[in-house]
Amino acid sequence: MDAALRCFEQRGLLRTGIENVRKEAGASPSSVYHLFEDFPALVASLLERFFERLVEYVTGRVLVATTERSAVRTMVQA
């Protein structure tokens, strides 16, 4: 997934294919398809990882807020 992220940063999502990701990762074609059914599955997995990290980041900051107002302000800033 790190290789996919690098490809998306360099080429953009629409100009990246699973073959680009495979080459960037230095992986064999079969290993990529062993991990991900297809390119949309790879993208979905990457998005899932991103949102998990985002929720963890925001939650960690909101939990230390002492008022509702500061919690909302923290969420917006995060």
* φ/ψ bin of 12: left (φ > 0), alpha (ψ from -120 to 50), beta (otherwise): left
Spatial distance between the Cα atoms of 25 and 19, rounded to a whole number of angstroms: 10
* φ/ψ bin of 42: left (φ > 0), alpha (ψ from -120 to 50), beta (otherwise): alpha
pLDDT at 14: 93
Q: Domains in the chain, start-ordered, CATH in brackets? A: 2-77 (1.10.357.10)
| Run means of pLDDT, 10 residues per run, the chain, 78 residues | 94 93 91 90 94 94 92 89
pLDDT at 33: 86
pTM above 0.85, yes or no: no
